Structure 1
């Protein structure tokens, strides 16, 4: 391998480890190659970056970010929490399960894990502490649950994966759903185990009639928000719209719900929502621009093929190749958030997956679960740090429960997703008729 490529990969890793924003990390890696590499005119690299940005598919991502921002500011998070609490909040430790379910649903609405941390964490962490939950535990559970936004459609990460690899985005939406539901089950189980010795104050028992009435009221209050992912997915899988058009429908639907139905934001608040969504989308587009340039250079230098050859020198057994690919993704996930990880790892590992006989749709679920786990795995663990900031707590109090979630919830899901292809292939085959 070209020594300059090794230096470039080392620089990229160093910048990510020391906490430089991901977009600037990719820019630095590209700048090193442009300054010291022998690639002739660099115009083709700039063109590669702009050509990648010139995609209708990518328009869906800022639209989903905007729709999620509107619903987050419009009060949907609190109503989701109240609905889940009316159903299971009276169980011992039930408020933790409320958090998991509410985060999964809000993640499906926003499509971004960080949005779910901000919206649900702000509401749930103080409530859980008042009920007797440890604050560090509550923040760790928010971080762990927010990763479900990658697995429950519509997911911005799966849009990126489909775009990068040329795989059906509709199939990529479906592939991680069953692994996501398994993860919800495991997180819920560990929640009850980890909270059994906490001094939790349970609400007084209530008659079934009272509980049913409360659930009915809360369902009515949350119904408009709950309809949003159903409308998006119904339009997509019903063949009415493309994913990009469905994202536009989501924005058009979210505005009147937030302003006229929930009445928790006004037209004046739209400026702030647009500004925050624009910031997030702008950073993402810069990252995609430089990551596309870096990917073009690495492809010209045959980096994906050399990675495959390195793997094959160890073993050509498909199971061993999958284990090595998972290890590669786990390391990438520890140092990059999901968007950067997909932009970097998906094209690099595609030859390895092809050699191992893995369908690209199956690979989408593998990469989603792996990079999702990386978001809460030290040393970088961006979602843990963000949840600590939202929860106003320190990382030391979050570390033990977070590692339990990593080793005994996420890791089993990663292994099941990798070695039981039916978990990720069954829904795409059933709904889209894929073989």
Structure 2
């Protein structure tokens, strides 16, 4: 199995597409793995044909429909009305709006692009340095995954056999915790970065978002997370059925508000299909590597090794966090969740760690990689969206990275933060 891992790392280093890297690392070493090539043929299809995974393309479609239909501006307007009177308000608006949008898209990168485009110019006009605007935009984008529904949580639940509904419920309080830590960083940093500690607001600097959405449109946007999360938690929908209902609702909203024409809606279907196909292809090909590891009892051997190496579950969690932090720095999020989740879950069970709690730790940790170079997809998207060189972000995003790591530590060692729903 060691040779297979080396093949995988080599393929990733030279830039091989992730899906191909997972499959080729097994194909080239099939004899030593005692895996018959013809037995692998059906694994990709079996891996992506599960009912739960249908939610992934549906939630991506919902995000595209609502983004193209002006949702980001609507949610920003709502956030501005709620907390617009606070000192340094627009930083909080970006964090809150990212949480709102995350409750619809389930995607961190999509949240960064949409909210950055809607709010970035306004923050710059109010006196914030562009590097700071891009940094808070990238960090707040993590809420796109932590606020349910979350595509990585859907993937983890399907791969590791954990209830996706429970994962969605569990991640609410961790998401609030992360949002609060980012808000504390903004409260501290805005006083040092803004002229005289105050945002610049003049009669010529009218908010670009306030006139961008009617009250009806804003309420329509706000009802989306209510429909999705309320339907799931109320027991009316499974996560996949909620995604389908959200798609129907999104189409009705954009058509009634005339923000998208029927032709635009059809185009949005195509735009959403591309990233959905990429994710599902990665899931299918990762299944080949996972099957090879299971046949060679790698998860069981790793669990035995970890329990022998660490007598204390607290030390085990520390080691897992360090490992996943490094993995998240170099590997695409969904692929990392698919690879590390099923691999580490048996070890966590051997230590008596709750599967739901461990899932939140894994996804939260790997998500931090989105703001940790060298991969750092959120940083690159935020830099492009806010038209700022990445070098200008370096002295700002470290504050938010530190806040995310502190939040991860609390989530890791205080299980009640993730398992809060079991107290009711």
TM-score range, shorter chain: over 0.9
After TM superposition, the structure 1 = structure 2 runs for residues 380-391 of structure 1, keeping only pairs within 5 Å, are 380-391=375-386
The 2-side partners of 1:30 and 1:137 are apart by 43
Q: Does 1:318 align with 2:316?
A: no
Q: Does the alignment pair 1:93 with 2:91?
A: no
Distance 1:381 1:148 in 2: 15
Distance 2:303 2:413 in 1: 19
Cα deviation for residue 11 of structure 1 reads 3.4
Comparing 132-141 with 101-110, greater Cα deviation is found at 132-141
TM-score calculated relative to the size of structure 1? 0.90
Question: How far, CA to CA, are the matches of 2:33 and 2:368 in structure 1?
Answer: 38
What corresponds to 2:253 in structure 1? 257
Instruction: Report the counterpart of residue 228 of structure 1 in structure 2.
Output: 224
Secondary structure at 1:404's aligned position in 2? helix
8 A Cα contact 2:88 2:199, kept in partner: no
Q: Deviations over 1:291-322 (max 9, x none)?
A: 00010011222221232233234322111111
Residue 147 of structure 2 corresponds to residue 152 of structure 1: yes
Q: State the Cα distance separating 1:90 from its structure 2 match.
A: 4.0
For residue 375 of structure 1, give the secondary structure of its aligned residue in structure 2.
helix
Distance change in 2, residues 1:185/1:17 (3 Å):
farther
Q: Which moved more, 1:83-92 or 1:41-50?
A: 83-92
Asked if 1:416 corresponds to 2:410, the answer is: yes
Corresponding residue number in structure 1 for 2:239: 243
Instruction: Report the secondary structure of 1:86's partner residue.
Output: helix
Q: What residue is the counterpart of 1:208 in the other structure?
A: none
> Cα deviation per residue 1:317-360 (whole Å; 9 max; x = unaligned)?
11111111111211121112321111001111012111221111
Partner of 2:2: 6
Q: 1:265 to 1:428 in 2, by over 3 A?
A: farther
Query: Aligned partners of 1:167 and 1:151: how far apart in 2?
Result: 17
Give the Å deviation of 1:10.
2.9
Aligned to 2:359: 364
**1:239-275 deviation line (CA, Å, top 9, x unaligned):** 22211111110000001111212x2211111232111
Tell me which moved more, 7-16 or 81-90. 7-16
Q: How does 1:17-28 map to 2 (within 5 A)?
A: 17=13, 19-28=15-24
Partner of 2:348: 353
1:224: how far off? 0.3
CA distance in 2, matches of 1:87, 1:280: 33
Q: Is the 8 A contact 2:65 2:251 kept in 1?
A: yes
Aligned twin of 1:210: none
Tell me, yes or no, if structure 1 residue 397 matches structure 2 residue 392.
yes
Is the alpha carbon distance of 1:426 and 1:137 closer, same or farther for their aligned partners in structure 2, counting shifts above 3 Å?
Answer: same
* Inter-partner Cα distance in structure 2 for 1:17 and 1:395: 22
TM-score normalised over the length of structure 2:
0.92
In structure 1, what is the Cα distance between the partners aligned to 2:224 and 2:384?
29
1:281 corresponds in structure 2 to 276
**Range moving further from structure 2, 38-47 or 221-230:** 38-47
Residue in structure 2 matched with residue 165 of structure 1 by the alignment: 160
**Does structure 1 retain, via aligned residues, the 8 Å contact 2:169–2:233?**
no
Q: RMSD of aligned C-alpha atoms?
A: 2.1
- Consecutive unaligned residues of structure 2, counting only runs of 5 or more, are 204-209
2: CA distance between counterparts of 1:79 and 1:179? 25
Structure 1 residue 37: deviation in Å? 3.7
